[in-house]
Amino acid sequence: MPWARLLGEALLIFASVYVAIVLEGVSAERGRQDEAREALRQLRGELVLDRAEAEEVLDAQVQIATDYSDLARWLGSPSTMPTDSVGVVIRRLGYSNPTAYPRKGAWTALSSTGLLAAIEDPELVVRVADHYENLVARVEYNGNDYDELLNATMIESVPAVWDAFRSRPTNDLTELRGRLDYLATSWNRYYQELMTIYVDGLDRLIGDVDAYLGSGS
């Protein structure tokens, strides 16, 4: 067999193998991109649910601000306080202080499987990561602190000065009033601001994900 023919057949085989490898790589990459887009769709679904719950939390915290204001007024004038109303509000604060706990399942799956690298918009990747690693972490951290401080007040300060069965004070209310004032000004008000920032961030991120998914990238 002539050397030229052997060389030609060898080059043809090499070219065929090379093309097959390239096509396989392209197909695999396209598959990863499709997986990433599906993961983003799931993430978007969680963001929408988080957004609805954050709005409910924000609305509730606005209402709770009224409870703090009423308690501050009542505790400041013990002789004229409506004791039945005080007891009701204290119980409501103790048992109903909604805070946000964002979902992270889709984000964990997206980041742990390496699918972030298959998203063809590096800026979107940065924004998604910043949302979860910074804003969500801030929401969780402050929500925990808020809950713990309120629980400590209800467990330690309230029973020390308030008879829940008879709905009347049993001791000086100054310390309790101070702790409730701190909860109102430093936590309830701050947490409302944080929830507003969080809702705005969710709206922007949902819009960014929608733009990417709708672009056919």
pLDDT at position 31:
62
Instruction: Name 33's Cβ contacts closer than 8 Å, sequence gap at least 6.
Output: 118, 119, 120
Which tokens belong to 21?
Answer: 């490898």
pLDDT at position 27:
45
pLDDT at position 4:
60
Average pLDDT, the chain: 86
Identify the band that residue 217 occupies on the pLDDT scale cut at 50, 70 and 90: very low
Q: Which of 4-8, 138-142, 181-185 has the highest mean pLDDT?
A: 138-142
pLDDT at position 168:
84
State how far the Cα of 91 lies from the Cα of 158, in Å rounded to an integer. 10
State how far the Cα of 164 lies from the Cα of 91, in Å rounded to an integer. 9
**Average pLDDT of the residues in 75-84:** 82
The per-residue pLDDT for range 129-162, each reduced to its tens digit, is 999 999 999 999 999 999 999 999 999 999 998 8
Q: Tell me which of 111 and 6 has the higher pLDDT.
A: 111
The per-residue pLDDT for range 14-55, each reduced to its tens digit, is 555 545 454 454 444 566 778 889 999 999 999 999 999 999
Nearest alpha carbon to residue 63 among 27, 87, 25, 98: 98
pLDDT at position 22:
47
pLDDT at position 204:
96
pLDDT at position 79:
78
Backbone angles phi, psi at 184, to 5 degrees: -70, -45
Burial of 102 (0-12, 13-18, 19+ CB in 10 A): buried
pLDDT at position 67:
93
The per-residue pLDDT for range 82-103, each reduced to its tens digit, is 888 888 888 888 888 999 999 9
pLDDT at position 23:
45
pLDDT at position 188:
95
